[in-house]
Amino acid sequence: MDLQHLRPSQEQGVPLYLQLYRRYREAIAAGKLRPGDRVLSVRNLASELTLARGTVEMAYQMLANEGYFVTRGAAGTIISPRLESLAADHAKLSEPTAPASPPLHAISSEVLPFQLGLPALDAFPRKTWSRLAGRTMRSLQTTAMTYPDPAGYEPLRRAIATYLGISRGIACSPEQVFVTTGYLGALELVCHALLKTGDLGWYEDPGYILARQFLERTGMRLEPVPVDEEGLNVATGQRRAPHARFAVVTPTHQSPLGVALSLPRRLELLEWANHRQAWIIEDDYDSEFRYHGRPLPALKSLDRDGRVLYTGTFSKVLFPGLRLAYLVVPVSQIGQFRDAVNHRSGSGSILPQAMVADFMEQGHFGRHLRKMRALYATRRGYLVDALKQEMGEHLYIQPQAGGIHVLAHLRTEQDDRALAKAAQTSGLAVHALSDWQMCNSSQGGLLMGFANFATAEEARASVQRLKTVLAKC
Ligand SMILES: Cc1ncc(COP(=O)(O)O)c(C=O)c1O
């Protein structure tokens, strides 16, 4: 192939390595490079195109990570033979999926290094799942094939109620459980059933960015309430917005700082909500994964006055593609929520719901959680060790008792947004802490997922890439 096809031009604002990466993908798509073809070594290509070796290295690494290149040790690097079956599908390859800079808040459908919010997809028990799928289809009652209950599939609601009683200290009946399409589906239902446009709510600062954007777009007004080492600062919330109608909290494992809401603060929050007749939305998104100490009971387990709306999700414990979450409402609100779901689009297909119900009832869920807890403790170690060894002088890792992400604070005054943007442009899905903050703070940091680092080497290689990117900023 004529090497000039690979030569980057002066495309405005597009880094050279990214141009080179794209040229390779285009050459493969156009058949100029065939599966099995040898690729010029980094040194030779850099010298042929008069590029820095680091530039070529970065492009090659992205192509290898995405499966276009395969390294064969001393035999050099070749175009992956696995692309043979894809080569015909020209459109698929020639349409470059923005490899870099996924829009900051978008949930990427690619599994990029450091991707936040994803469980370990390689460790999902696919065999058990497929066996259940066949059995679920075969044994589906005719009644279950008609229009489903918009509150969710009853056996799943029952399984969730049992699980919450045992694992989260929540005493609830299946009638209190509403199955939703993800956490945002639960929030949407709460807004519809209990709130109205313009209602004011406390929101943790920093806090989960997607829910914040969702609530703002739904017309809610949000009062930022700071989070410290004891979690949400309830006294500040009461001072700033005593009449708020609701508060959204992540008490078990604050998102993203990872602290737990202390018992005195929990009681203060419940007392405020009861006194003001406000609602507390408890987002218990990843409480199953705790590596030190005992799992904390949910805030809902202390709710004597029926002010807490509890939400959980299957996105972390199974996989986000299921789009299954749930909401537990106070007994006094069952009628209100029943009425709300009866006039909405429902909880989606019953097939995944039936499978998850079977998965839980047959004990697979408990086994899966135990296995994943151990796996995440190991994978967290891979990332933390690599960060400490490679970037310890630049980053300080916030100790966290659980979860599937790491927060590394910057030791310098660097702008975390610029760093995260540069990393994203290189295909590394780190987030800037500042983007999760509502009020400006001097404390910058990087948020990184670790669940999909299968080996210590993988974690180290990605951290080294991050280090290279950050060194250039
Ligand atoms: C803080 C927080 N809450 C809830 C969720 C779950 O959202 P969903 O059920 O829509 O996947 C996530 C997912 O990343 C999260 O980070």
Kindly list the structural domains of the chain, giving each domain's residue range(s) and its CATH number in brackets, ordered by start.
Answer: 3-94 (1.10.10.10), 126-365 (3.40.640.10), 366-472 (3.90.1150.10)
Q: Among 181, 205, 227, 255, name the best residue to mutate to test ligand 1's pocket (greatest count of ligand atoms within 8 A of Cβ).
A: 255
Residues 107, 310, 166, 296: is their CA dihedral positive or negative?
Answer: positive
Cα separation of 425 and 427, whole Å? 5
What pLDDT does residue 89 have? 46
What pLDDT does residue 195 have? 98
Which residue's alpha carbon is at the smallest distance from atom 3 of ligand 1? 285
What pLDDT does residue 13 have? 63
- Atom number, ligand 1, closest to the C-alpha of residue 315: 11
Cα separation of 441 and 459, whole Å? 29
What pLDDT does residue 250 have? 98
Name the β-bridge partners of 397.
408
Name the β-bridge partners of 279.
246
CA of 183 to the centre of ligand 1 (A): 6
> In sequence order, which residues have a C-beta less than 8 Å from that of residue 335 and are 6 or more positions away?
none
> Which residues, judged by CB distance below 6 Å to any ligand atom, belong to the binding site of ligand 1?
117, 182-184, 208, 250, 255, 283, 285, 313, 315, 320, 325
- Atom number, ligand 1, closest to the C-alpha of residue 250: 1
How many other β-carbons are positioned within 10 Å of the β-carbon of residue 106? 9
3-state secondary structure of 333: helix
**Over its length of 473 residues, how does the chain's per-residue pLDDT go in tens digits?**
777 778 777 665 677 887 888 888 888 877 888 888 889 998 989 888 888 888 888 888 888 877 788 888 777 888 888 777 554 544 444 343 333 333 444 455 668 999 999 999 999 999 999 999 999 889 888 888 899 999 999 999 999 999 999 999 999 999 999 999 999 999 999 999 999 999 999 999 999 999 999 999 999 999 999 999 999 999 999 999 999 999 999 999 999 999 999 999 999 999 999 999 999 999 999 988 988 777 679 999 999 999 999 999 999 999 999 999 999 999 999 999 999 999 988 889 999 999 999 999 999 999 999 999 999 999 999 999 999 999 999 999 988 888 999 999 999 888 999 999 999 999 999 999 999 999 987 789 999 999 999 999 999 999 999 999 999 88
> In sequence order, which residues have a C-beta less than 8 Å from that of residue 308 and are 6 or more positions away?
270, 273, 279, 280, 281, 282, 299, 300, 330
CA angle 355, 356, 359 (to 5 degrees): 90
The angle, 0 to 180 degrees and rounded to 10, between the axes of the packed helices 416-425 and 456-472 is 120
What pLDDT does residue 340 have? 97
